[in-house]
Each structure stands twice: as structure tokens, then as C-alpha cells.
């Protein structure tokens, strides 16, 4: 990590990190499985957190008894969760404030999410214009998290080495993706436990976190 008052760039996960959409996903998943006569457990819902949408569609077909093509399952899930989000965006504590502070200092920021563009759009619309220099969605990459491609692609679009980036994540799947890309990962656990790692630093919340704090966290590595 280069020495400066802020990281060179910050790469943000979305679901569970910027916004707490996981309860909406779980509600829509459960309703779809019930409609098809299947069983959906808390363990099933947790197993899907951070995965690519197509992987989630395959999981629902295999474990939830939803006898539809994975691509169709994804579209049904997106319809339901987009409806939730357009009614109210469930921001994570401190996320918007930290993002605004980073942008005020000119720190490049990217959104790196496995959600598709049509789900991301209403969330971006609720933020100030230009909050992110780059947006990488799940339908824009060949390999989803935990593969490093999403974070490598975001860093490439920013023109910044991943080693000079801090990624903010909440799940093991996303953390593994950012870590494999070479980023330092700030982990703020939400619905799932993330184990410690050499390129991982932990905070209980983004609330009260400042851009200068990110550099201090990086120094703990």
C-alpha cells in the first residue's frame, strides 16, 4: 500500500456492504422455493451470499427444487428484489458517509457487485451522481466471485494496481475474490462469518470510519 493520507482507490462490494439487501434476497428466494413445493433453510440462504447470480440460480434449482433454467430463476429473483429496493434502499450504517468523504477527497471508487445492472441501477440513482468512477456488475464478467476477475477488472478500469486498492467486503466469497486479486480487504461482517487472513482487516461497522482510517487499517496488515 502506497503511503498517503488515503488509499489510492477503494473498491466497494454492494450487497451486504453498501446496502443490506440480503433479507430481500432471502425473502424472494424462500417465496420462489415455496411456490415450487421445495424446502429452503437458513443454511441454504447463507450458502448463496456473495455468489454470482447464475451460481445462485443453479443452487436454487438443485437444492430448492425450482425446476426452471438457472437464467430464468435469476430473472425472477431480480424482479422481486428490484421491487423491494425501489420502495426503499436499505443502506448499511456509515456506508454513504464514508463514500461521500472519499469522493470529496478525490479518491477513486469502484462498485464491484455480482448483482446485474438492472438491480444496481436504482441503488446508483439514490446516490449522488458520480459516486463511483467504475461499476462492475455480475453480467459484465465471465467469472464471478470468488474468482478474482471482478476486482481485477475494476482495478484495470481505474488504471490502478490492485495492491494499491482497499476492497470493502462482508462475505467470505467476496473477500476471497478481492484477496486473490491482490487487494487489502476491509471486512465488515454482516450476515456471515469471515475467517481472518493475511490480507484482511476487520471492523464491526463502517459507521464513523474516515478515509484516513482506511490507511491506518492498511498499516495493520
The whole-angstrom separation of Cα 103 and Cα 107 is 6
- Confirm if 79 and 45 have CB atoms less than 8 A apart: no
Alpha carbons 162 and 153: distance in angstroms, whole number: 10
Task: Report CA Rg, the chain.
Answer: 17
Contacting residues for 115 by C-beta, under 8 A, at least 6 apart: 14, 15, 53, 78, 137, 138
The DSSP-derived string for 136-199 is E-GGG-SS-TTSSHHHHHHHHHHT--GGGEEEEESSHHHHHHHHHHT-EEEE--SSS-----TT
Q: Would you please indicate which residues are annotated as catalytic (active-site) residues?
A: 13
The full DSSP string for 26-42 is HHHHHHHHHHTT----H
Neighbouring residues of 83: CB distance < 8 A, sequence distance ≥ 6: none
| Residue 50: HSE in the Cβ half-sphere, 13 Å Cα cutoff | 26
Amino acid at each position: 500500500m502506497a503511503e498517503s493520507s488515503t488509499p489510492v482507490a477503494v473498491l466497494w462490494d454492494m450487497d451486504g456492504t453498501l446496502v443490506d439487501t440480503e433479507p430481500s434476497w432471502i425473502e424472494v428466494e424462500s417465496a420462489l422455493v415455496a411456490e415450487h413445493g421445495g424446502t429452503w433453510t437458513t443454511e441454504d440462504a447463507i450458502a448463496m451470499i456473495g455468489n454470482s447470480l447464475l451460481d445462485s440460480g443453479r443452487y436454487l434449482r438443485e437444492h430448492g427444487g425450482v425446476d426452471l433454467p438457472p437464467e430464468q430463476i435469476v430473472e425472477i429473483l431480480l424482479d422481486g428484489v428490484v421491487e423491494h429496493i425501489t420502495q426503499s434502499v436499505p443502506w448499511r450504517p456509515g456506508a454513504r458517509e464514508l463514500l461521500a468523504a472519499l469522493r470529496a477527497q478525490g479518491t477513486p471508487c469502484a462498485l464491484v457487485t455480482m448483482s446485474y445492472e438492472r438491480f444496481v441501477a436504482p441503488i446508483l440513482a439514490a446516490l449522488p451522481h458520480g459516486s463511483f468512477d467504475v461499476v462492475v456488475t455480475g453480467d459484465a464478467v465471465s467469472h464471478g466471485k470468488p474468482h478474482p476477475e471482478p476486482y481485477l477488472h475494476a482495478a484495470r478500469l481505474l488504471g490502478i494496481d490492485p495492491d494499491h486498492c482497499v476492497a470493502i467486503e462482508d462475505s467470505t466469497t467476496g473477500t476471497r475474490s478481492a484477496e486473490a486479486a491482490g487487494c487489502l480487504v476491509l471486512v465488515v461482517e454482516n450476515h456471515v462469518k469471515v475467517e481472518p487472513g493475511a490480507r484482511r482487516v476487520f471492523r464491526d461497522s463502517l459507521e464513523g470510519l474516515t478515509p484516513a482510517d482506511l490507511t491506518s487499517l492498511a498499516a495493520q496488515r
